[in-house]
Structure 1
Amino acid sequence: MALWHFLLLVFISLSRGDARVITLKNRCNTTIWPGFRATTFVSSHSEEWAGGFELKPGASANLQTPVIWIGYIWARYGCSFNPSGHGFCFSGDCGGELACSKENSPVEPATFARLNMNDITGDDTYKLDVINGFNLPISIVPNGPDSSLCETIECVPQDLSNTCPRELQVRNEGHIVACRSGCLAFHKPELCCIGEYANKRVCNHTKYSIAFKNTCPIADTHPNERFVYTVCDTSPNYLIIFC
């Protein structure tokens, strides 16, 4: 990070008030293990959370963040961990660890909620990312004072058997647990926007990314959409709803 960028982030942090709160709410009918990673220079979580934890159906948990927080959140499920925090999740796993670290990226496909709280402009920007596929529905809901001025966004496919093409389905014991992107499923340059297709002018939407867009119109479904965010300038808290 350039020195001027670092100093600007520090200035914004000192001038924009107290810490913010991200509330995670599990509306799924199964236990999930939210994972989260921060990409800023500041700590992203309290020590007891340490990058992941269990969240039972109907339960909520608050993540208190610094004023500046840039990172992403996703859901893991079908998990089993021993008392030391080692185990496995059949969807969204991060290296078989309860605490997702920078060294263990989440195994895709997974639905990502990406938030930049007090970014370089001083505003919040956020989006949902299913470029490499999705597993559980997620909504980002601005919460608290002045939150009504900011947009709620959601990706809530209800039935993967109807919304996910058969060749993209990820199954566990006969059940569909996630939906891969065309790139993740077939590793072809024209699906991944790599090699001779790295130029956005020649890497177009495919039938797979279009199917994702039909399911989640507000979410990023194609590499050309990576820099499209929803903007909020009132610094609310956020509610992340799973299912």
Structure 2
Amino acid sequence: MAQLCLLTSLVIILPGVFSAATFTFINKCDHTVWPGILSNAGISALPTTGFSLRKGESKSINAPSSWGGRFWGRTHCTEDSAGKFTCVTGDCGSGKLECAGGGAAPPATLAEFTLDGAGGMDFFDVSLVDGYNLPMVVVPQGGTGPNCTNTGCLVDLNGPCPSQLKVTSTDGEGVACKSACEEFGKAEYCCSGAYGTPDTCKPSSYSLVFKKNCPRAYSYAYDDQTSTFTCAGSADYLISFCPGPSTSQKSSSGAQTPATPEFNSTMVSGAQTPATPEFNSTMVYEGAMDVSSASSRPTCMHVFRPQAVAGAVAIVAALWWWCQLF
């Protein structure tokens, strides 16, 4: 009876103990940000799908093995007398603080993740494909690999946004920057129809505004080689809204290493986009195009995250003791 009790308990508990990652959000903006969260299709929602972060506040959320989805920041949010919650940018349409299955209304800066994906690696990116509303940087903490590094957009693009794409508040302040696809709806900007392949869909003058200012962020649908990042092993992730230029990366050894100079610098029109080490990228966000061949993908396996093992051992020991009572 004791052995059966222990086995049943392990089946229930251990899948949730191993392979978890922690996402820590910090608001460095001079105003409140309301992060939203959407899990990919077929993936269970995280414990919260929306919350508020006042200036200087932070919040951590644990995600289970193989979770995938996106994060973004909502801005200029209000609640009316009837309790309906709405935001000028990034609104998820739920009418509430929690997004409850709704995605971000464009334009919005997105951080996109697939944990324990192909080859047991985490895949992540910061995307401006659906436009831009806030500076955002993702910093892996722990993890290994040449592509396990910071990504995102340090620059406030709401000011220099092209006039055709600019979204303004009622007082005329620039609050977001649309994508050319959203504004004009043309296939050449949306990478659709005759432009639906990497060979036919090229950067536009509008997407290059994003790329030159935020060289590590996705600027259009096929911007893979300089914009998708991977971490092997155990990694947690720090997601900063309105980060300063001193953002640093914590290596797997625990030491702080400064962000690369080309990432800290403000890229201006005409600047060179720094190259990113080559790798076989698989697009990881919901609705994205897979640009790698199925036959070239590594066998998918799960990575056991070491920080979870000690807790698992303690739980197993406690369960064994408890089961002896039966």
What is the TM-score normalised by the length of structure 1?
A: 0.84
Q: Work out the CA distance in 2 between the residues paired with 1:24 and 1:74.
A: 10
Structure 1 residue 168 corresponds to structure 2 residue 165 = yes
The answer to whether the 8 Å contact 2:35/2:71 transfers is yes
The answer to whether the 8 Å contact 1:124/1:235 transfers is no
Count of matched residue pairs: 226
Structure 1 residue 156 corresponds to structure 2 residue 161 = no
Amino acid at match of 1:127: D
Structure 1 residue 235 corresponds to structure 2 residue 237 = no
The answer to whether the 8 Å contact 1:109/1:134 transfers is yes
Range moving further from structure 2, 188-197 or 119-128: 188-197
1:225 Cα deviation after fit: 2.5
Structure 1 residue 43 corresponds to structure 2 residue 44 = yes
1:205 Cα deviation after fit: 1.1
Which residue does 1:19 correspond to in 2? Answer: 20
Unaligned runs of 5+ in 2: 1-13, 243-326
The answer to whether the 8 Å contact 2:37/2:103 transfers is no
Which residue does 2:32 correspond to in 1? Answer: 31
Which residue does 2:205 correspond to in 1? Answer: 207
What per-residue deviation string (whole Å, max 9, x for no partner) do you get for residues 3-24 of structure 1? xxxxxxxxxx959935221000
Q: Work out the CA distance in 2 between the residues paired with 1:221 and 1:175.
A: 23
Which residue does 1:216 correspond to in 2? Answer: 214
Q: How does 1:5-154 map to 2 (within 5 A)?
A: 14=15, 17-39=18-40, 41-46=42-47, 49=48, 51-81=49-79, 86-95=84-93, 96-102=95-101, 104-143=102-141, 145-146=142-143, 150-154=148-152
Q: Work out the CA distance in 2 between the residues paired with 1:178 and 1:123.
A: 32
Amino acid at match of 1:126: F
1:41 Cα deviation after fit: 4.3
Q: Which has the higher strand share?
A: 1
Q: Work out the CA distance in 2 between the residues paired with 1:198 and 1:159.
A: 27
CA 1:85/1:117 → structure 2, altered by over 3 Å: closer, same or farther?
farther
1:86 Cα deviation after fit: 2.8
SS at match of 1:214: helix
SS at match of 1:208: helix
The answer to whether the 8 Å contact 2:130/2:179 transfers is yes
Q: Work out the CA distance in 1 between the residues paired with 2:131 and 2:60.
A: 27
CA 1:109/1:141 → structure 2, altered by over 3 Å: closer, same or farther?
same
The answer to whether the 8 Å contact 1:85/1:98 transfers is no
What is the TM-score normalised by the length of structure 2?
A: 0.64
Unaligned runs of 5+ in 1: 1-12
1:132 Cα deviation after fit: 2.1
The answer to whether the 8 Å contact 1:44/1:65 transfers is no
SS at match of 1:223: coil
Range moving further from structure 2, 196-205 or 211-220: 196-205
1:223 Cα deviation after fit: 1.3
Amino acid at match of 1:207: S
SS at match of 2:65: coil
Max Rg structure = 2
The answer to whether the 8 Å contact 2:21/2:62 transfers is yes
1:131 Cα deviation after fit: 0.8
Over the aligned positions, Cα root-mean-square deviation in angstroms equals 2.5
The answer to whether the 8 Å contact 2:159/2:174 transfers is yes
The answer to whether the 8 Å contact 1:32/1:55 transfers is yes
The answer to whether the 8 Å contact 2:157/2:177 transfers is no
Amino acid at match of 1:43: S
Q: Work out the CA distance in 1 between the residues paired with 2:28 and 2:73.
A: 12
